């Protein structure tokens, strides 16, 4: 009996030790290592050993996203349990009761109100800890109710997803939540409510195929797995091994499905920065302070001096001339780069995003050429694929929804000519971009900051006001190519440049542009500071003027402007053309 008593004490101590150990230590599902709970919590529930981000419960998400951990939970609508009386190995009702006991939540959706960056916001969390975050009637009703609340209160809406998809135990009733939640999303868009989706690990199935992929902005949490069908299902179906990064957040970024991949610790500040622009918060103009990169001013530019027109061509292409991202870094505050066409790819040649242009919240797009060998390859010298133009159209629609001015800084030799572009519809993408720009119900200022090459340039150049830097050029084809085709000799490139009338002065004379923005003596490449000050001031002036006009009138005025263009222009015919034919 004495032996048994001692044994019992030891067993009880061991059980208590095991309970304490489970509270103090957590085993990482990824690396298999034990993680001290305090370290794990301080690291925002991310394994400090391997970086695996654990699923966060709704309270943890609210504390992470809302300002000062301050928020108020919203009531969830009640629905009847187990309408189909479903039972597999375990009755559905028992699964619900178990999940409620384990999580303390009524179902997979919990919503709350608070502020993010001072902006009133509703955050809706799809809890991956409640039956794998599966979506049934209760979850669908709660999402719809939260979105309708955001519309009624005119609050920004953030959807946080972690789900295996639709809930099988409710069959078709679960499937219908895809349509019901999409109706609620459409209400957000129709009422101009910012809708940001935060995709966390894991997000799959009917959730990704409905409300989770319909946001204005898609943010993927670093390390998240996101897709429609599961990896194993796909591999069994196609009978081949998928790449190791398949369905990761980074994979979706590369394929144009998300705007950005953000580490958990940076989510609050990133969302706050986006909401500040979308809700038109006030910001002081950024002080422009840039340094002109050092370059060899004594180095003679090959071809300079043949004539004024071709000199402009060479200045527009100068390797030290500021490019799109240089202007963004110098002029724009709170810049957030947005990626992806939502169809196929992220095209780095078309850079797009949100920021404050001299204190004015705006959507900003433009071609980026790159400066080093690596960045030029990445950006393809500013020559855009169809994915990039589809991304530009997406930005135009965003500007229209939030009635933000669209600023376009175009600088390209032309749309990219390649097999992939043709396969994915280059012509259609350029045409759609032109059409969207002309019909957009928002102020639109387009600036030719370098090379205005062909349809690749006009695709993002149909603004209410079209401006042009003094040494930029605008042409249907490169003068070298024109000379080769018409003169059958590339040596006539300077003659072709003069004949094509491609300079800023020529564009102003033909009423193609509204203003020439002067450059420092010697060109923009000699003095970035002055160039950016002049550009920033001119764009600010035109945006301010356009914002005084009724927004409904802008598409009609823009259309009339372009319809009137070229009507009363005397066509110049190079004398060399007649001699050659």
Do residues 29 and 147 both lie within one domain? no
Residue 489 reports pLDDT greater than 70: yes
The arithmetic mean of pLDDT across residues 346-369, rounded, is 97
Classified as helix, coil or strand, 220 is strand
Say whether the peptide bond before residue 566 is cis (omega within 30 degrees of 0): no
Q: State how far the Cα of 258 lies from the Cα of 212, in Å rounded to an integer.
A: 11
Using a pLDDT cut of 70, give the percent of the chain over it.
93
Q: Locate tokens 């080093």: which residue?
A: 372
**pLDDT tens digits for 142-159?**
999 999 999 999 999 999
* Domain CATH code at residue 201: 3.90.226.10
Q: Do both 455 and 553 map to the same domain?
A: yes
pLDDT over 70 at 558, yes or no: yes
Is the per-residue pLDDT at 576 higher than 60?
Answer: no
pTM of the model: 0.90
Residue 298 inside a domain? The answer is no
- Same domain flag for 162 and 29: no
pLDDT at 6: 46
- Is residue 14 situated within a structural domain? no
Q: Is the pLDDT of residue 5 over 60?
A: no
Q: Is 386 left (phi over 0), alpha (psi -120 to 50) or beta?
A: alpha
> Is residue 88 in some structural domain?
yes
Phi/psi of residue 116, nearest 5 degrees: -125, 115
Do 355 and 252 reside in the same domain of the chain? no
Q: How far is it between the farthest Cα atoms of the chain?
A: 121
* Boundary (domain end) residue, out of 9, 31, 54: 54
What H or E segment, with its residue span, contains residue 195? strand 195-203
- Name the residue among 438, 354, 348, 446 with its Cα closest to residue 395: 354
Do 261 and 394 reside in the same domain of the chain? no
301 within a domain of the structure (yes/no): no
3-state secondary structure (DSSP) of residue 370: coil
Q: Which residues pair with 448 in a beta bridge?
A: 410, 468
Average pLDDT of the segment spanning 362-378: 95
Does position 553 have pLDDT exceeding 60, yes or no? yes
Same domain, 156 and 224: yes
Instruction: For residue 272, give the nearest of 556, 66, 571 by alpha carbon.
Output: 66
pLDDT digits 0-9 by tens, 240-294: 898 989 999 999 999 999 999 999 999 999 999 999 999 999 999 999 999 999 8
Residues 6 or more apart whose CB falls under 8 angstroms from that of 23 comprise 37
In this structure, the answer to whether residues 116 and 240 fall within a common structural domain is yes
- 296 part of a folded domain: no
What are the structure tokens assigned to 50, written together? 């391997």
Provide the domain limits for residue 529. 308-580
Decide if 13 is inside a domain.
Answer: no
Do 334 and 436 have their domain in common? yes
pLDDT of residue 19: 58
Pick the more confident residue, 380 or 41.
380
pLDDT in tens, 391-422: 999 999 999 999 999 999 999 999 999 998 99
Last residue of a domain, one of 278, 293, 321: 278
pLDDT in tens, 104-153: 999 999 999 999 999 999 999 999 999 999 999 999 999 999 999 999 99
Q: Is residue 176 part of a domain?
A: yes
Residue 366 falls inside a structural domain: yes
**Are both 257 and 323 inside the same structural domain?**
no
Structurally, the chain folds into a number of domains equal to 3
**Taking 70 as the threshold, does the pLDDT of residue 97 lie above it?**
yes
pLDDT at 581 over 50: no
Q: What is the pLDDT of residue 295?
A: 77
pLDDT in tens, 275-290: 999 999 999 999 999 9
> Tell me: the pLDDT tens digits for 421-467?
999 999 999 999 999 999 999 999 999 999 999 999 999 999 999 99
What pLDDT, in 10s, does the model give residues 315-324?
Answer: 999 999 999 9
For residues 83 and 10, give the distance between their C-alpha atoms in angstroms, rounded to a whole number: 48
574: pLDDT strictly greater than 50: no
Question: Cβ(410)–Cβ(437) under 8 Å?
Answer: no
Using the 3D structure, point to which of 263, 278, 293 is the last residue of a domain: 278
User: Which is higher by pLDDT, 369 or 235?
Assistant: 369
pLDDT bin (cut points 50, 70, 90) of residue 1 is very low
- 192 and 117, same domain (yes or no): yes
Q: Same structural domain for residues 25 and 124?
A: no
Q: Do residues 265 and 323 both lie within one domain?
A: no
């Amino acid at each position: 009996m004495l032996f048994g008593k001692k044994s019992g004490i030891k067993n009880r101590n061991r059980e208590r030790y095991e309970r304490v150990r489970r509270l103090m230590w957590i085993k990482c599902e990824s690396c298999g290592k034990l993680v001290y709970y305090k370290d794990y919590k301080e690291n925002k529930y991310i394994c400090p050993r391997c970086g695996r981000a654990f699923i966060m419960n709704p309270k943890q998400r609210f504390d992470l996203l809302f300002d000062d951990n301050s928020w108020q939970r919203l009531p969830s609508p009640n629905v009847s349990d187990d309408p189909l009386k479903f039972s597999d190995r375990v009755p559905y009702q028992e699964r619900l009761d178990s999940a409620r006991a384990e999580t303390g939540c009524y179902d997979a959706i919990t919503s709350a109100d608070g502020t993010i960056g001072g902006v009133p916001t509703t955050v809706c969390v799809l809890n991956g800890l409640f039956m794998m975050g599966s979506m049934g009637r209760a979850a669908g009703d709660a999402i719809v109710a939260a979105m309708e609340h955001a519309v009624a209160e005119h609050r920004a809406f953030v959807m946080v997803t972690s789900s295996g998809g639709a809930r099988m135990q409710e069959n078709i009733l679960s499937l219908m939540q895809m349509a019901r939640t999409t109706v609620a999303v459409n209400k957000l868009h129709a009422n101009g409510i910012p809708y940001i989706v935060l995709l966390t690990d894991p997000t799959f199935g009917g959730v990704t195929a409905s409300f989770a992929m319909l946001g204005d902005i898609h943010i993927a949490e670093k390390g998240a797995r996101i897709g429609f069908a599961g990896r194993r299902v796909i591999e069994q179906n196609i009978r081949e091994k998928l790449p190791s990064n398949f369905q990761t957040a980074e994979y979706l970024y590369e394929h144009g499905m998300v705007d950005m991949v953000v580490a958990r610790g940076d989510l609050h500040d990133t969302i706050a920065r986006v909401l500040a622009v979308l809700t038109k918060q006030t910001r002081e103009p950024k002080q422009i302070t840039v340094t002109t990169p050092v370059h060899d001013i004594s180095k003679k530019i090959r071809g300079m001096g043949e004539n004024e027109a071709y000199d402009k061509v060479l200045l527009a292409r100068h390797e030290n001339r500021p490019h799109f991202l240089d202007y963004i870094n110098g002029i724009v505050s709170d810049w957030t780069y947005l990626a992806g066409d939502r169809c196929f790819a992220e095209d780095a040649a078309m850079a797009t995003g949100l920021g404050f242009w001299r204190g004015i919240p705006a959507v900003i797009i433009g071609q980026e050429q790159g400066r080093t060998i690596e960045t030029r390859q990445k950006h393809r010298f500013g020559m855009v694929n169809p994915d990039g133009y589809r991304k530009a159209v997406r930005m135009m629609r965003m500007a229209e929804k939030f009635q933000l001015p669209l600023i376009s800084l175009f600088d390209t030799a032309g749309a990219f000519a390649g097999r992939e572009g043709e396969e994915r519809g280059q012509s259609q993408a350029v045409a759609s971009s032109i059409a969207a720009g002309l019909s957009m119900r928002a102020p639109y200022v387009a600036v030719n900051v370098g090379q205005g090459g062909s349809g690749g340039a006009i695709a993002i150049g149909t603004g209410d006001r079209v401006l042009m830097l003094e040494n930029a050029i605008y042409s249907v084809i490169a003068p070298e190519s024109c000379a080769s085709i018409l003169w059958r000799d590339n040596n006539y490139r300077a003659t072709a440049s003069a004949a094509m009338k491609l300079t800023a002065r020529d564009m102003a004379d033909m009423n193609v542009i509204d203003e020439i923005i002067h450059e420092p003596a010697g060109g923009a490449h000699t003095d970035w500071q002055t160039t950016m000050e002049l550009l920033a001031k001119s764009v600010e002036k035109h945006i301010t003027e356009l914002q005084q006009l009724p927004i409904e009138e802008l598409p009609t005025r823009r259309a009339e402007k372009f319809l009137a263009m070229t009507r009363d222009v005397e066509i110049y015919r190079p004398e060399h053309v007649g001699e050659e034919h």
